Chain A
Amino acid sequence: MAREITGMVERRGAGLWLTHLCMIAGVLVIFFPIWLAFVASTVTQPEIVRPPMPLWPGDQLIENYTAALFSGVNVPVLTMLGNSLVMAVGIAVGKIIISLTSAFAIVYFRFPGRNMFFWLIFLTLMLPVEVRIVPTYEVIAGFGMLNSYQGLIFPLVASATATFLFRQFFLTIPDELAEAARVDGASPMQFFRDILLPMSRTNIAALFVILFIYGWNQYLWPLLITTDPSMNTIVMGIRQMFPSGDDVADWPVIMATSILAMIPPVVVVISMQKLFIRGLVDSEK
């Protein structure tokens, strides 16, 4: 694979530098708020509240991160990280599986109600959780799923976005592949497993990243349905550090915790990197 990458469309000379320059400029602008959060997590409160706050990291990194890790939460940070991880992976995997199969059904079959089902799935994008939160809570309570992983995961698993993305992708796959599979006498599921899945690899990777982060960042739903502190997630823990009432914010610790909470999603992105690189897809075309 490495050989395939070299000798691709890598530019040389001025073009290459211009591209890098564009990239760096873009990254600078987009990364700036994160940088600022990081800087804020390494200085003292007085430095932040008297404008202008510094733009370069200070020397309080260890103090602030220690405070972030060991204070102000009623359960160990590890427990919260663990809960967030289970929830995020559960949601991401669940969504990808049910979306892959439903998109496969919608694109590759003709069956009664196909269009209706597609639109019904699509409709789930269009009502924010906050609006239907009370009835949804009643459903979960009815199933006895309060304070459980099922309760955290199930209501968030139905995803129109992922189904729509796979539909879009499946439609771009040349008809010849399905034709050939049919001629070879392959069953629909064999075609799904041997052709569609490998081809969807890049999209699955992108979706996994997006859905993992989506699950990781859930706040309102876990807040409502968990009362047992051992089920708290990390984002709930962070919000616990925000000031309430007329209190003032302890910015360095808040920012340190926020940065810590971003690390797992970023690790997921990095570990998914390999899947993003153009490989098998091309050689099969």
Chain B
Amino acid sequence: MSKFAFGAILAATTALAPLTAAAQTEIQFWHAFTGRLAELLDEQVAGFNAGQSDYKVTATPKGNYSEALNAGIAAFRAGEQPQILQVFEVGTASMMAAKGAIKPVYEVMAESGLPFDPNAYLSAVTGYYTTAEGQMLSLPYNSSTQVLYVNRDALEGAGIDPDTDLSTWQNVDTVLGQLKEAGHACPYTTSWQSWVHLESFSAYHNVPFATQANGFGGLDTELVFNGPLQVQHISKLGEWAQDGKFIYAGRRNEAGANFRAGNCALFTESSAGYAGVKAEAQFDFQIRPLPYWDGVEGAPQNTIIGGASLWVLAGHEPEEYKATAAFLNYLSSPEVQAQWHQNTGYLPITSAAAEVTRAAGFYEANPGTDIAVIQMTSKEPTENSKGLRLGSFDQIRAIIDEELEAVWSGDKDAQAALDTAVERGNQLLRRFEQANR
């Protein structure tokens, strides 16, 4: 390290924290967690700070995902950016395109000289955040996938065997019919409709959501989720909505309140919703794998993740990147990962963490919590199931939400709605391509 850089760090650290030892390198971690998750995150950070004396991580909450992203961007433009920023998965393409603003994780790890084995990570989880060549750009932090929650009491109340097979949408269809017949007011509901019923649905049935390997292959990607399989699925949901078998409760996870209150029998939601259901449900519930359409070739493939990852921002000193690498390394360690996985329901990012969890008997004590892991890892991801890398993705999701609502209310048929969504979404993709040419 040059004398100058050392002096700068010395000056910076002493100015910021005059009481800490001058040799300690301090790094900033801006995140979008609040409530219980923020407390768990703080525990992780405290564990890192207590475990060694060279580096100190300061975690700062910066509101929700979009507020934290804006805080990071504003700070970067003013030269005040943190070393680590938590960004939601829909921001992945924007972050990746901002080449001068980020420092890819694989680079940070390589320069630090710390041991870093990309194969230790679960490719189904990290794949979302790696390049087509397999280089890790950001570290998955909180990832979850879709599972089916079953209110067993509701099934029993309708005279249905609560252990009935719900692994396929065909079987779900039958059960919904029976529930409706028995007068159940809310046989099925879902959260995050685009994520569950189009994004992950496509991956799970091994059909493309967008061309160019769902955007991994280049910015000239085009949406193709108006294929026959997706249309068939959305039309079925539309039918259920018309028949009162599918009750739509909102674009985000509003439906969760309905399920937890015991109003709904079946519910597709993030695997990370487990803790909430466990805390609030006053009925016998169970987690099942996400259903698939029987007869579709290759189904079930694997579902895809959602959540957020940690990006390392550019423009800092080598010593600070070393500290960052040490922290990311600590976060990836089996014990920390296993703890996080068990406490939050988020997926572990390494297979070692899943093993530790299994060995500790966690999955037996909390049946169903391993379903998400199994669902993600039973098959090697394909081009269609690795993840999605689309610019302006949040706007595209809003468009999908709008068009799906038209189907649920009966204003449009599935084909027309998905065609429109594809067409409108493609315009946004072309704009994004232009911005990042």
- Tell me if chains A and B make direct contact, with any CB pair below 8 A: yes
- The interface of chain A, by Cβ under 8 A from chain B, is 45-46, 49-51, 72, 74, 133-134, 137-138, 141-142, 146, 219-220, 223-224, 227, 229, 239-250
A137 in complex: contacting residue of B28, B33, B74, CB < 8 Å:
B74
Distance of A85 from chain B, by nearest CB (Å): 22
In contact, B37 and A245 (Cβ under 8 angstroms): yes
- CB contacts (< 8 Å) of A134 on chain B: these are 70, 73-74, 77
A138 in complex: contacting residue of B61, B77, B275, CB < 8 Å:
B77
In contact, A241 and B34 (Cβ under 8 angstroms): yes
In contact, A223 and B345 (Cβ under 8 angstroms): no
A244 in complex: contacting residue of B38, B262, B263, CB < 8 Å:
B38
In contact, A227 and B282 (Cβ under 8 angstroms): no
| With A72-B39, A137-B77, A244-B32 as contacts: A49 and B60 at CB distance below 8 Å | no
Q: Who on chain A is nearest to B74 by CB?
A: A137
| With A50-B282, A223-B62 as contacts: A247 and B78 at CB distance below 8 Å | no
In contact, A49 and B35 (Cβ under 8 angstroms): no
Distance of B238 from chain A, by nearest CB (Å): 26
> B42, B67, B272 — which one has the most chain A CB atoms within 10 A of its CB?
B67
- CB contacts (< 8 Å) of B276 on chain A: these are 246-248
**B257 in contact (CB, < 8 A):** yes
**B256 in contact (CB, < 8 A):** yes
- CB contacts (< 8 Å) of A74 on chain B: these are 42
In contact, B64 and A133 (Cβ under 8 angstroms): no
In contact, A49 and B261 (Cβ under 8 angstroms): yes
B63 in complex: contacting residue of A137, A142, A229, A239, CB < 8 Å:
A239
- CB contacts (< 8 Å) of B64 on chain A: these are 244
Distance of B98 from chain A, by nearest CB (Å): 14
Distance of B306 from chain A, by nearest CB (Å): 9
Distance of B392 from chain A, by nearest CB (Å): 17
Bitwise interface map of B from 31 to 52 toward A, beta carbon under 8 Å scored 1, else 0: 0111111110010000000000
**B75 in contact (CB, < 8 A):** yes
| With A220-B67, A246-B345 as contacts: A142 and B78 at CB distance below 8 Å | yes
**B385 in contact (CB, < 8 A):** no
Distance of A252 from chain B, by nearest CB (Å): 13
In contact, A46 and B78 (Cβ under 8 angstroms): no
- CB contacts (< 8 Å) of B270 on chain A: these are 246
In contact, B261 and A245 (Cβ under 8 angstroms): no
Q: Who on chain B is nearest to A146 by CB?
A: B80
Q: Who on chain B is nearest to A136 by CB?
A: B74
- CB contacts (< 8 Å) of B202 on chain A: these are none
Starting from the known contacts A45-B279, A72-B35, 20 additional A-B residue pairs (CB-CB under 8 Å) come to A49-B257, A49-B261, A134-B74, A137-B77, A141-B79, A220-B67, A223-B67, A223-B71, A224-B70, A227-B30, A227-B60, A242-B35, A243-B36, A244-B35, A244-B37, A244-B64, A245-B33, A245-B344, A247-B275, A248-B280
- CB contacts (< 8 Å) of A243 on chain B: these are 34-37
**B91 in contact (CB, < 8 A):** no
- CB contacts (< 8 Å) of B75 on chain A: these are 137, 141
**B142 in contact (CB, < 8 A):** yes
For chains A and B in complex, what number of residue pairs have CB atoms within 8 angstroms? 101
**Bound complex: CA of A51 vs CA of B64, how far in Å?**
28
| With A137-B78, A142-B78, A224-B74 as contacts: A242 and B34 at CB distance below 8 Å | yes
**17 contacts across the A-B interface (CB closer than 8 A):** A45-B279, A49-B260, A49-B261, A50-B261, A50-B262, A72-B39, A74-B42, A138-B74, A141-B79, A227-B28, A227-B30, A244-B35, A244-B38, A245-B33, A246-B270, A247-B37, A250-B35
**Bound complex: CA of A239 vs CA of B273, how far in Å?**
20
Main secondary structure of the interface of A (DSSP, over half): loop
- CB contacts (< 8 Å) of B80 on chain A: these are 141, 146
**Bound complex: CA of A33 vs CA of B302, how far in Å?**
45
**Bound complex: CA of A216 vs CA of B135, how far in Å?**
46
A49 in complex: contacting residue of B67, B142, B144, B280, CB < 8 Å:
B280
- CB contacts (< 8 Å) of B67 on chain A: these are 220, 223-224
**B253 in contact (CB, < 8 A):** yes
**Bound complex: CA of A227 vs CA of B71, how far in Å?**
10
Q: Who on chain A is nearest to B76 by CB?
A: A134
**B140 in contact (CB, < 8 A):** no
**Bound complex: CA of A249 vs CA of B73, how far in Å?**
28
Distance of A250 from chain B, by nearest CB (Å): 7
**Bound complex: CA of A247 vs CA of B273, how far in Å?**
7
Bitwise interface map of B from 145 to 179 toward A, beta carbon under 8 Å scored 1, else 0: 00000000000000000000000000000000000
- CB contacts (< 8 Å) of B63 on chain A: these are 219-220, 223, 239
In contact, B39 and A51 (Cβ under 8 angstroms): no
Chain B residues 265-293 with CB under 8 Å of chain A are 269-270, 272-273, 275-276, 279-280, 282
In contact, B34 and A138 (Cβ under 8 angstroms): no
Closest 6 CB pairs of A and B: A248-B276, A141-B78, A246-B272, A137-B74, A244-B34, A134-B74
Distance of B434 from chain A, by nearest CB (Å): 21
Distance of B372 from chain A, by nearest CB (Å): 12
- CB contacts (< 8 Å) of A227 on chain B: these are 28, 30, 60
Q: Who on chain A is nearest to B68 by CB?
A: A223
- CB contacts (< 8 Å) of B60 on chain A: these are 227, 229
- CB contacts (< 8 Å) of A45 on chain B: these are 279-280
**Bound complex: CA of A47 vs CA of B341, how far in Å?**
29
> B28, B32, B38, B73 — which one has the most chain A CB atoms within 10 A of its CB?
B38
| With A49-B260, A247-B275 as contacts: A133 and B280 at CB distance below 8 Å | no
| With A240-B61, A246-B272 as contacts: A46 and B280 at CB distance below 8 Å | yes
**Bound complex: CA of A138 vs CA of B269, how far in Å?**
40
B142 in complex: contacting residue of A72, A141, A245, CB < 8 Å:
A245
**B387 in contact (CB, < 8 A):** no
Q: Who on chain B is nearest to A137 by CB?
A: B74
Q: Who on chain B is nearest to A243 by CB?
A: B35
Distance of A40 from chain B, by nearest CB (Å): 14
**B127 in contact (CB, < 8 A):** no
A246 in complex: contacting residue of B30, B70, B77, B144, CB < 8 Å:
B144
- CB contacts (< 8 Å) of A133 on chain B: these are 70, 74
- CB contacts (< 8 Å) of A245 on chain B: these are 33, 37, 142, 272, 307-308, 344
Chain B residues 9-60 with CB under 8 Å of chain A are 28, 30, 32-39, 42, 60
**Bound complex: CA of A229 vs CA of B308, how far in Å?**
24
- CB contacts (< 8 Å) of A229 on chain B: these are 60
